[in-house]
Structure 1
Amino acid sequence: MPPRRAALVPILPSSDLERSLAYYRYLGFDVLEHAVGYARLSWHDAELHLYPHPAIDSMANSMGCYLKVPDPDALRATWTGDGVDCLDMPVEPHHGPTTFAIVDPDGNTLRIGPHPDPDPEPPSATGRN
């Protein structure tokens, strides 16, 4: 049996789960679960969770996450062609290679960058290789 991988899942606020689900479906995310007060989505093998926060201020929200994909330039071209506003995100090299970003209706920022190794060796049980 291959070793299991660890996963860290971002949980982002949403002022309107139905609107957020529609937005992320438009981007190509799949809805794994949608219950009252919570939603689980996936982008291939990555997960994103949403929880209700009716009072979230989209202009003051600093929440976000980093999505690593095999070909961020191709994804950007697809999303831009679909009318999604893809933002240039110049960052310092020590923060990782962000190619672009999108901001959802609640102000959550998804930074998109390359996945350097599509099948990295999983960490040992201690978290160290």
Structure 2
Amino acid sequence: MSIGCFSVSLAVKDLSASKVFYEKLGFSAFGGDESHGYLIMKNGDTNIGLFQGMFESNILTFNPGWDQSAQSVGAFSDVRELHVKYKAEGLEVTQESIEGDSGPGSFSVTDPDGNKILIDQHV
């Protein structure tokens, strides 16, 4: 069971300063929109999301249905399937936004150390 593209979503104080910093580390803007307060930075297969004013802490993010370049993959584990599986395994879902039988949806869980994990399907 694959949970898709992995990235670290960073809550940043100054999007422009963070962009310049990560560019110096070899990342380049891959997606997002600075005017909407976020950028997706890429270096090879490594993705970092920079988000200003959207959430309070850093989040580990997985995108079912996408590869590391945000391209759709063939068969994948749908967010609904993952949601049911994780709840059945006893994980507490702390946020969910899932409607219908297919398409976009998301939910979050928190690991034992308080790290937030977002399962965020866009396809």
TM-score using structure 1 length: 0.37
The structure with more radius of gyration: 1
TM-score using structure 2 length: 0.39
Higher normalized strand content (fraction of residues)? 2
